[in-house]
Amino acid sequence: MEIAQSVNLQAYNTFGVPATAAFFASIESKENLEKALQYAAGESLPTLVLGGGSNVLFIRDYAGLVLHINNRGIKWLEGLAEDSQRVRVAAGENWHEFVSACLAKELYGLENLALIPGTVGAAPIQNIGAYGVELADFFVELSCYDREQNQWLSLTREQCEFAYRDSLFKRSGGRYLVFDITLELDKDWKPNLSYQALAGVIGEVDPSAQQVFDTVCSLRREKLPDPNDLGNAGSFFKNPIVSDEKYAALQKQLPGLPNYAIEEEGLTKIPAAWLLDQLGWKGRRRGRAQVHKHHALILVNPGYALGEDILLLAQEMSSSVLENFGIALEPEVQIL
Ligand code: EPU
């Protein structure tokens, strides 16, 4: 395994902003990972795990060692029940290609998560979700390297502490490095049309898995810019969770404010995009950074933006939401 120096990260983040990594290693095996960690320890370098770079914003150069997780492979395993099958997939695989491979194998459940950018290894970090489905719904376990105990571990779904765009990994400051994940998928097809916008577009009670997959792809293509055409990292902020009382008060100020029910009693989730749109943020440009023309929650790099330009715009957006509605937006994107 080679440790490269002064590597430009522009091609390794979907915002497409420039930043230089002092050291960079492409990780293809467990052995690679252990060696790279030993190197970092020997040189007292901090490390940063990078998958597809679809949820990060670099605001400065990185002085440590970037571990680009690039292992490959999908293993189709036996299921625990007759009507399910397990699959173990390497962290370095592309998420969308994996979803497509499952559909081709007639293993169901992940269709609503089609076209989410990034790698498989990044999926558990923020418990990716879309159109009424979350990774946690199909998750069994993952294998990871624990940097505190210096050992390989297997963590179950409970141990991963999944929540809305959150997990143990988000809170443990890089302690665990995900190597592969295991999911249990259904052999019998049952659509999940709990997300109104999806059900509305499909307009059929009993669509095929391919139909749901295709609809999710076209919905995303319509609304969310393709990072290959226009740099972005999907939703920049999380949708805020507020108390029922706060929601009632906001509704008086903002008639028509939508909300989504969540499991926790007394709390509800509201769309940050809707709030930002009320404040006129859609399409607005600040210097070299811009809010997407079709979606107020998506910041884009029209070409020459630096990470700092995007951060300044994001700060201005969250300040305006705080001033006007008393809500502190939390970034979903990791700022580095
Ligand atoms: N809306 C506006 N103005 C806009 C955009 C949206 O008023 O400019 C309204 C919509 O009409 C809708 C509401 O805001 O009533 C929510 O919009 P949307 O359906 O686009 O979903 P979202 O809440 O913005 C979330 C996820 C997305 C995921 C979609 C679909 C978060 C932070 N974002 O977006 O995930 O694809 O739902 O399930 O939870 C991501 O995490 O990067 C991501 C793209």
Chain mean pLDDT for the chain: 96
| pLDDT of 204 | 83
Which ligand 1 atom is the nearest neighbour of the CA of 238? 32
E strands along the chain, which residues? Answer: 3-8, 20-27, 47-50, 56-57, 62-69, 74-76, 84-90, 129-130, 133-134, 139-146, 151-156, 176-186, 231-235, 241-243, 260-261, 267-269, 285-286, 289-291, 298-301, 334-335
Give me the percent of the chain exceeding a pLDDT of 90.
Answer: 93
Pocket lining: 282 vs ligand 1, CB cutoff 6 Å:
yes
Ligand 1 within 6 A of CB of 271? yes
Token readout for 225 is 């810019």
Say yes or no to pLDDT of 43 above 90.
yes
Which tens digit of pLDDT belongs to each residue from 20-37? 999 999 999 999 999 999
Q: Is the pLDDT of residue 121 over 90?
A: yes
Indicate which residues carry an active-site annotation: 165, 235, 332
Give the pLDDT mean for 77-98: 94
All structural domains of the chain = 4-69 (3.30.43.10), 74-222 (3.30.465.10), 225-335 (3.90.78.10)
Residue 1 has pLDDT above 90, yes or no: no
Average pLDDT for 35-50: 96
* More reliable by pLDDT, 78 or 93: 93
pLDDT tens per residue, range 137-166: 999 999 999 999 999 999 999 999 999 999
Q: Give the number of the atom of ligand 1 that is nearest the alpha carbon of residue 164.
A: 39
In the reported structure, the alpha carbon of residue 40 is separated from the centroid of ligand 1 by a whole-number distance in angstroms of: 39
